Amino acid sequence: MRAIIIGGGIGGLTTALALHAAGIGAEVFESAAEIRPLGVGINLQPHAVRELSELGLGEALAGVGVATQEFVYANRFGQEIWAEPRGLAAGYHWPQYSIHRGRLQMLLWEAARVRLGDACLHAGRRLVGFRQDAAGVAARFADGSRAEGDLLVAADGIHSVVRAAFFPNEGPPKWNGALLWRATSLAPPFRTGASMVQAGHRDRKFVCYPIGTAPDGRSIVNWIGETRLPADHPWAREDWNRPGRVADVLPLFADWRFEWLDVPALIRAAEAVYEFPMVDRDPLPWWTQGRVTLLGDAAHPMYPIGSNGASQAILDARWLALQLATQPGIEAALAAYEAARRPATAAVVEANRGDGPDRVMDLVHGRAPMGFHRLESVASQAELAALVGGYKRVAGFDPATLNARESWSPPQAR
Ligand SMILES: Cc1cc2nc3c(=O)[nH]c(=O)nc-3n(C[C@H](O)[C@H](O)[C@H](O)COP(=O)(O)OP(=O)(O)OC[C@H]3O[C@@H](n4cnc5c(N)ncnc54)[C@H](O)[C@@H]3O)c2cc1C
């Protein structure tokens, strides 16, 4: 069996590695002419780290990511609403990593190159069309070349060509009116030195976490400033590398100086700022046609809330490989893949539309917009715990469930 994978992002490359581990041939076709470490920080939750660890990448990940120790919600005055340990400190068998998206992509590309061989990874190959029949599937690329295989996995991101062929009337991604500025800054370590912080509320939010350490000991801090714009603001196409300006974001957070974090100083220290509208797409009624299916952002782009976009793509990849290795045929495997992953990811898309676990901040802001003397008089721990824990269950990283569930490695690869 041979799979054609469209897209050499985190979803496509993990699919290639998972298929290879399951003894299934795969070739990756990526549109970018050269793989460069684009993007800023993302988080890999323990459920995704488990899958990459079971692919033998645990040590490599530890070398490029920061093992997140703590997660904190605060209001816009820096008053703590919720703090919890993360990763191993929270009892998971696997860490959580805050990591540069581009470095993770490079790590996966290199692992795929070594394991599958140079001949199976193709850059500069933009899919423009595909067709299938009872015997197989053929892909057509912008440079005029073609590829043939037994199945096609479309991991070509939020502007997926395959998704557009499946659903020609869908239109562009949906914007919820929020605009994000993303950047990295060098700054003194804060809190544990490996803490992820979210402060504010739905309409004005600041998120930051370290993704590395500079030679001088300062943290390389990934940060995101978010605000909601008027409904008539012109929509901008989602582009992860569109430059933004410090001057646009700084005034929104000018007085967010906490005892333990100086937000304006972080913003001023930005190396380069990128601007990104908060977009997603509606969950789909189906993902698969015959030998062709969708995966990752092509299947379920979601708001970057709850840090699950890349993690869910990794789960898709592993579950797909397990089905292809264990089901009686390709169509049965793709049906079993979709039957589990489509509802699971639709639930995360919907949860993120409701602000995901960040509802904790919205709840406290709604009841105490000017801050509080005693948090208990605003919200009970049980109420907050239910929101945070509920999201972990929806997204598949409830610690007890994750630790207890069986491996998704095919039996022959365990
Ligand atoms: C350049 C870039 C930067 C990003 N930066 C961040 C970030 O800073 N923070 C964050 O949270 N998320 C970021 N993301 C999104 C994040 O990587 C995804 O949400 C998540 O990892 C799911 O990955 P995916 O592989 O499904 O999709 P993606 O990561 O979007 O990967 C899709 C891949 O398919 C390729 N592709 C697209 N169309 C075609 C085609 N027609 N033929 C062949 N290949 C094609 C793209 O070049 C890309 O490499 C970024 C995505 C990209 C592409």
Q: pLDDT tens digit string along 170-199?
A: 999 998 889 999 999 999 999 999 999 999
Question: Would the CB of 88 count as within 6 Å of ligand 1?
Answer: no
Q: Of 141, 159, 297, which is best to mutate to test ligand 1, by the most ligand atoms within 8 angstroms of its C-beta?
A: 297
237 pLDDT higher than 70: no
Say how many Å lie between the CA of residue 79 and the centre of ligand 1. 35
Say how many Å lie between the CA of residue 157 and the centre of ligand 1. 5
Say how many Å lie between the CA of residue 309 and the centre of ligand 1. 10
Residue 27: which pLDDT band, with cuts at 50, 70 and 90?
Answer: very high
37 pLDDT higher than 80: no
What mean pLDDT comes out for the span 48-61? 98
- Residue-level pLDDT at 239: 72
83 pLDDT higher than 70: yes
Give the strand pairing for 70-74 and 195-201.
parallel
Q: Of 156, 222, 242, 316, which is best to mutate to test ligand 1, by the most ligand atoms within 8 angstroms of its C-beta?
A: 156
Q: How far apart are CA 129 and CA 144, in angstroms?
A: 11
210 pLDDT higher than 90: yes
b/e map 51-71, b = 16+ CB within 10 Å: bbbbbebeebbeeebbbbbbb
Q: What is the dihedral of CA 363, 365, 366, 367, to 10 degrees?
A: 90
Q: How far apart are CA 304 and CA 369, in angstroms?
A: 24
Q: pLDDT tens digit string along 105-156?
A: 999 999 999 999 999 999 999 999 999 999 999 999 999 999 999 999 999 9
Residue 229: which pLDDT band, with cuts at 50, 70 and 90?
Answer: confident
Residue 307 region, left (φ>0) first, then alpha (ψ -120 to 50), else beta? Answer: left
Q: What is the dihedral of CA 37, 41, 43, 49, to 10 degrees?
A: 30
Question: Would the CB of 173 count as within 6 Å of ligand 1?
Answer: no
Q: How far apart are CA 313 and CA 11, in angstroms?
A: 5
Say how many Å lie between the CA of residue 251 and the centre of ligand 1. 30
66 pLDDT higher than 80: yes
- Residue-level pLDDT at 235: 61
Q: Whose Cα sits closest to atom 35 in ligand 1?
A: 7
Q: Are 208 and 197 in contact (CB under 8 A)?
A: yes
DSSP code of residue 87: G
- Residue-level pLDDT at 281: 97
Strand order in the sheet with 25-29: 121-122, 25-29, 2-6, 151-154, 292-294
Say how many Å lie between the CA of residue 148 and the centre of ligand 1. 23
- Residue-level pLDDT at 236: 63
Question: Would the CB of 9 count as within 6 Å of ligand 1?
Answer: yes
Question: Would the CB of 50 count as within 6 Å of ligand 1?
Answer: no
Residue 167 region, left (φ>0) first, then alpha (ψ -120 to 50), else beta? Answer: beta
The atom of ligand 1 lying closest to the CA of 12 is 25
User: pTM for this structure?
Assistant: 0.96
48 pLDDT higher than 80: yes
Q: Of 42, 275, 318, which is best to mutate to test ligand 1, by the most ligand atoms within 8 angstroms of its C-beta?
A: 42
Q: pLDDT tens digit string along 341-384?
A: 999 999 999 999 998 999 999 999 999 999 999 999 999 999 99
Q: Are 65 and 58 in contact (CB under 8 A)?
A: no
Percent of the chain topping pLDDT 70: 99
* Residue whose C-alpha is closest to residue 326's, from 314, 334, 315: 334
Q: How far apart are CA 199 and CA 73, in angstroms?
A: 6
> What DSSP string runs through 278-322?
EEE-PPPS---BTTEEE-GGGT----SSSS-HHHHHHHHHHHHHH
Q: pLDDT tens digit string along 215-227?
A: 999 999 999 999 9
85 pLDDT higher than 80: yes
User: Residue written as tokens 């041979």?
Assistant: 2
Q: pLDDT tens digit string along 240-275?
A: 778 889 999 999 999 999 999 999 999 999 988 999
- Residue-level pLDDT at 36: 81
- Residue-level pLDDT at 231: 66
Q: How far apart are CA 252 and CA 204, in angstroms?
A: 8
Say how many Å lie between the CA of residue 239 and the centre of ligand 1. 10
Q: What angle do CA 386, 388, 389 make, to 5 degrees?
A: 65
- Residue-level pLDDT at 206: 97
Say how many Å lie between the CA of residue 72 and the centre of ligand 1. 27
Q: pLDDT tens digit string along 289-325?
A: 999 999 999 999 999 998 899 999 999 999 999 999 9
Element (H, E) at 128: strand 127-133
Q: What is the mean pLDDT of the chain?
A: 95
Question: Would the CB of 278 count as within 6 Å of ligand 1?
Answer: no
